[in-house]
Chain A
Amino acid sequence: YFVLINCGANVDLLEILQPEEDTFFFVCDSHRPINVVNVYNDTQIKLLVKQDDDLDVPAYDDIFRDEEDEEEDSENESDGSEPLEKRRRFEEEVIERTMKRRQRREWEARRREILFDYEQYEYHGTSSAMVMFDLAWMMSKDLNDMLWWAIVGLTDQWVQDKITQMKYVTDIGILQRHVSRHNHRNEDEENSLSIDCMRIAFEYDLRLALYQHWSLYESLCNTSYTSASLKLWSVQGQKRLQEFLADMGLPLKQVKQKFNSMDMSLKENLREMIEESANKFGMKDLRVQTFSIHFGFKNKFSASDIVYATTSLMENIEKEGPETTNFIKALDSLSRSNLDKLHQGLDLAKKQLRAIQQTVASCICTNLVISQGPFLYCSLMEGTPDVKLFSKPVSLCLLSKYLLKSFVCSTKNKRCKLLPLVMAAPRDVEQGTVIMVGIPPETESSDKKNFFGRAFEKAAESTNSRTLHNHFELSVIELKTEDRSKFLDALISLLS
């Protein structure tokens, strides 16, 4: 028995793993679309999916066909095989048989279309963490800790821009009910002060990354939403920031202090104040529905804090051992008894966010984002500061998203605003490889569906490029630097 967590749903598991007949897989994965073989397999693959997650799977008969039906034609196949020793006469006449063959070809053509449509765009369903929590809840074994992890899972999908706003809000609502259920006790001194107890609270919080563990100023500068909206890479942008702070009556000196050291008077009503001012400066969505966790004496974290910290730990380039060390460390940091790891993660996250913003600013200012026709393209050169950070998939994706947001705010070209972005960075200088990601366009009503997975696959095939296309996200690919040009050319003509 194997349990696959947040991987495996979108690939043909039986084909890739070639398991024995008595091997079973339980798959809980938000990657979509789910591979049709996984969907229709009756025995070896079990999928954990929320009922209302609309899978849109093609009908069985549209994509599968009895192999036995092919027997009829084996006589007439041009493969030089010996005549059959015995032949059965079927009920139809030759004309009907030809018609059947033609029907079969039509069916096959339609099938190709259906599968193409089904598999073309990748997206995400309900967070695996939430599904697991659901399972625990149904078994009446759900705990507050698990609920928190479900929240973190959902928040990760939001931070990485994997789900639509509507889905996020809907799922927040679902979790909110659970939070109430688990945390409805009045604020007993006992509960809020005990080291072992934790409390989850719903928050309509500022969407400023890590702000409670940073300074408000740093957070404003390094959160893509504010940075992009205010265009902080430009001089006018910096001016606007000053005006924004002034509008809120927040002295620069205060704002640059560690958040916890800010005057209490300023922190009161901070959220409402910022929101009001933000509206004036064109930032209508500066607050977001989310959750926070309190435990021990002064430990308070927002869900997004955990997401950033964990991601940074996972993709930490300061290597201390095999890849799995990072994963284990990140996993450990989710436990309340590993605060030190969490704090390490927060520090790394700050570094990462700074690096992202600086890179974004540099790319915008030096016009590194160019249009290739069907998509925008940006390539980071070796030697760019912090470029090693971006040799990792999630970091590179985050960078790409933030870059695209900023680019859209900075460009006047209406057409470019609607384009998706392909971003490349060096992966391994010794091996001579690059890593490339593709992200969908930044539009208000975006459905977050990404076609780059298939596009990369086809471009690699048609150019015989040497690629490694085995990340969990198919919109991430590694290839040999030498093959980059022809790969890109193929991608351009494919998508034109």
Chain B
Amino acid sequence: SLRRQRVEVSIELRKAKKDEQILKRRNISIHVKEENPSLGQDRAYEVSPSLEEIVEAVNGDDAELQLLATQATRRLLSRHKDPPINQIIELGIIPRMVEFLGRADNTALQFEAAWALTNIASGTSVHTRAVVEGGAIPAFISLLSSPHMHISEQSVWALGNIAGDGPLYRDALIARDVIPPLLALVSPATPVGFLRNITWTLSNLCRNKNPCPPLDAVKKILPVLIFLVHHEDKEVVSDSCWAVSYLTDSSNDRIQIVVDTGILPRLVELMGSPDVNVVTPALRAVGNVVTGTDEQTQEAIDAGVLTVLPRLLRHTKPVIQKEAAWTLSNIAAGPCQQIQQIITCGLLPPLVELLSKGDFKAQKEAVWVVANFMTGGTVDQVVELVRSGVLKPLLNLLLAKDSKTILTILETISKLFLAAEKLGETEKLCLLVEELDGLEKIEGLQNHENDMVYRAALDIIEKYFSGEENTDLEPQTGQDGLYDFSVEKQDFNF
């Protein structure tokens, strides 16, 4: 199939370079005073217990000391700079903290322990492992049912960190039946903050491949996910869209399961959101869906994806432009009926715009749109495509530095010439290509360092521009050709 999976490129988490506002500290060594976490908030100058004191108190039997020590640990781990995670792990107190999770008689202790363990698990895989090996998983899962909301919420958070570590722990949680009690926490009465945490944890349970989450787990989660994706809170919606995008980033049968929920219209609606945090995952999810079967793609089209794509092709964020173009390229890889819908829904003008002045990565995807169009489209549709003015920017992209793109364009042009041959209008096409400065670019490519590029260029030149006189130059006006090849005020009757 022509459809292309999205390459696993990690999204660039480039924080806005606030330029003028924050200067980079280059090699500046200023010694910042060590923070002194205090035991009580009003005792600002109280020195915190030393690590030895913490160990002693935690391992001892005095409940009050246990609480104070656990709280002190939590404070150390929740400070902004350099939480001493490794040091705390080395104290060997994690199993004891896990024990504290079970202390239903002392909810303050449970809460502090839960928070401390959450923060340890938020570190590296080594850190998370230390928490898991301390026996935290079953303890946290049972805490999901705690009558105290702040405790169950903290447990949700901790489990989210564990699940986020990777497929291994994710599936370990699922095997331990984390899903039913977790889902039970979702209700219309659930406060938004709590709901955000739950959604995030759910997204981690849907996340990661190799392997994908177990199918039955997915089937259990989906209905709740649908509920969440309709919520009014933007963060909840965003994270649930991410979850859906993970679930659709998979084999066609998994895509089907998602499509069967009827979620597509909602996703398409969200693609029109002004909020980038919502648009991005919604677009990703739908983009994944159209990598599936023709039928699945049709469902996306029926849900209206082609009506929202034009705006996204023109989006200010290059990443969104790119993913929209990628999505379109996969739709264009479908049967000609779907290609027809691309045309009818007015996607050609924004496509040409994107090809002309979009972000380069998006332009590369747009080239694929044209290539796929050329492969799967009828001659009518190909003519329509050319009429929309796509050739000019396409030929301009022959100057790109990326060999693969150049090759795709050359192959597309070859296909175009084949279509022209069928109609006996090769010379017209040659003229058009020449007019658009395409010939000189193709000629230039004969010197390209890439073997395949130079050969493809040579091929085109030899076949169609090999210097035969253009005998067919008189303008054929008034010829009622079935195919009118008008581009840029020139009338070429095909």
A72 at the interface (CB under 8 A from B): yes
Task: Closest A residue to B317 by CB, please name it.
Answer: A80
A89 at the interface (CB under 8 A from B): yes
User: Contacts A42-B27, A88-B122, A108-B21 hold; do A80 and B277 have CB atoms under 8 A apart?
Assistant: yes
- Looking at B11-19, B172-180, B388-396, the stretch in contact with chain A turns out to be B11-19
A362 at the interface (CB under 8 A from B): no
Q: Is the CB of B83 within 8 A of A88?
A: yes
Q: Is the CB of B276 within 8 A of A65?
A: no
Q: Is the CB of A87 within 8 A of B122?
A: yes
Task: Closest B residue to A111 by CB, please name it.
Answer: B21
Q: Is the CB of A80 within 8 A of B119?
A: no
User: Contacts A79-B16, A91-B75 hold; do A63 and B200 have CB atoms under 8 A apart?
Assistant: no
A82 at the interface (CB under 8 A from B): yes
Task: Closest B residue to A12 by CB, please name it.
Answer: B23
Tell which of A40, A72, A82, A89 touches B157, judged by Cβ atoms closer than 8 Å: A89
Complex CA distance for A84 and B196, rounded to whole angstroms: 13
Task: Closest A residue to B279 by CB, please name it.
Answer: A80
Q: Is the CB of B21 within 8 A of A85?
A: no
A186 at the interface (CB under 8 A from B): no
User: Contacts A74-B13, A79-B15 hold; do A44 and B26 have CB atoms under 8 A apart?
Assistant: yes
Tell which of B16, B121, B280 touches A86, judged by Cβ atoms closer than 8 Å: B121
Q: Is the CB of B160 within 8 A of A89?
A: no
User: Contacts A60-B30, A80-B280, A85-B207 hold; do A69 and B161 have CB atoms under 8 A apart?
Assistant: no
A321 at the interface (CB under 8 A from B): no
Interface residues of A in 31-90 (CB under 8 A from B): 36-37, 40-44, 60, 63-70, 72, 74, 77-90
Q: Is the CB of B203 within 8 A of A83?
A: yes
Q: B74-99 CB contact bits vs A (8 Å, 1 = yes)? A: 01011111010000000000000000
Q: B469-481 CB contact bits vs A (8 Å, 1 = yes)? A: 0000000000000
Residues from chain A with a CB closer than 8 A to the CB of B204 are 85
A355 at the interface (CB under 8 A from B): no
B239 at the interface (CB under 8 A from A): yes
A14 at the interface (CB under 8 A from B): yes
User: Contacts A70-B15, A86-B122, A88-B78 hold; do A63 and B23 have CB atoms under 8 A apart?
Assistant: yes
Residues from chain A with a CB closer than 8 A to the CB of B275 are 78
Quick one: which of B78, B80, B242, B320 has the most chain A CB within 10 A?
B80
Interface residues of B in 112-133 (CB under 8 A from A): 115, 118-119, 121-123, 128
Complex CA distance for A94 and B121, rounded to whole angstroms: 21
User: Contacts A63-B23, A89-B119 hold; do A83 and B81 have CB atoms under 8 A apart?
Assistant: no
- CB of B231 to closest CB in A, whole Å: 16
Q: Is the CB of B15 within 8 A of A77?
A: yes
B24 at the interface (CB under 8 A from A): yes
Residues from chain A with a CB closer than 8 A to the CB of B317 are 80
Instruction: Give the interface residue-count category, chain A.
Output: 35 or more
Q: B296-334 CB contact bits vs A (8 Å, 1 = yes)? A: 000000000000000000000101100000000000000
Tell which of B21, B26, B75 touches A37, judged by Cβ atoms closer than 8 Å: B26
Residues from chain A with a CB closer than 8 A to the CB of B165 are 85-86
Q: Is the CB of B242 within 8 A of A83?
A: yes
- CB of B74 to closest CB in A, whole Å: 8
Complex CA distance for A124 and B204, rounded to whole angstroms: 60
Complex CA distance for A302 and B242, rounded to whole angstroms: 79
Interface residues of B in 1-41 (CB under 8 A from A): 11, 13-16, 20-30
User: Contacts A65-B22, A83-B200 hold; do A89 and B78 have CB atoms under 8 A apart?
Assistant: yes
Complex CA distance for A79 and B15, rounded to whole angstroms: 8
Complex CA distance for A90 and B79, rounded to whole angstroms: 6
Quick one: which of B128, B157, B275, B277 has the most chain A CB within 10 A?
B277
Complex CA distance for A130 and B286, rounded to whole angstroms: 71
B164 at the interface (CB under 8 A from A): yes
Complex CA distance for A89 and B157, rounded to whole angstroms: 9
- CB of A115 to closest CB in B, whole Å: 9
Interface residues of B in 208-250 (CB under 8 A from A): 238-239, 242
- CB of B61 to closest CB in A, whole Å: 28
Tell which of A42, A65, A72, A82 touches B29, judged by Cβ atoms closer than 8 Å: A42
Residues from chain A with a CB closer than 8 A to the CB of B239 are 83
Residues from chain B with a CB closer than 8 A to the CB of A67 are 22, 24-25
Tell which of A43, A78, A83, A90 touches B80, judged by Cβ atoms closer than 8 Å: A90
Q: Is the CB of B15 within 8 A of A64?
A: no
Q: Is the CB of B78 within 8 A of A64?
A: no
Q: Is the CB of A78 within 8 A of B276?
A: yes
Q: Is the CB of A64 within 8 A of B26?
A: no
Task: Closest B residue to A91 by CB, please name it.
Answer: B78
User: Contacts A44-B26, A86-B161 hold; do A81 and B203 have CB atoms under 8 A apart?
Assistant: no
Task: Closest A residue to B13 by CB, please name it.
Answer: A81
Residues from chain B with a CB closer than 8 A to the CB of A40 are 25, 28
Residues from chain A with a CB closer than 8 A to the CB of B14 are 79
Q: Is the CB of B276 within 8 A of A80?
A: yes
Task: Closest A residue to B79 by CB, please name it.
Answer: A91
Q: Which 6 A-B pairs have the closest CB atoms?
A: A80-B280, A85-B164, A88-B122, A91-B78, A43-B27, A80-B276
Name 6 extra pairs, CB < 8 A, besides A68-B81, A80-B319, A83-B239: A64-B25, A64-B28, A65-B22, A78-B276, A78-B277, A85-B165
Residue ranges of B at the interface with A (Cβ–Cβ < 8 Å): 11, 13-16, 20-30, 75, 77-81, 83, 115, 118-119, 121-123, 128, 154, 157, 160-161, 164-165, 193, 200, 203-204, 207, 238-239, 242, 275-277, 279-281, 317, 319-320
- Could you pull out 23 A-B pairs where Cβ atoms are within 8 angstroms? A37-B23, A41-B28, A64-B23, A68-B81, A74-B13, A78-B275, A78-B276, A78-B277, A80-B11, A80-B279, A80-B319, A81-B280, A82-B13, A82-B242, A82-B281, A86-B123, A87-B122, A87-B157, A88-B83, A89-B115, A89-B122, A91-B75, A108-B22
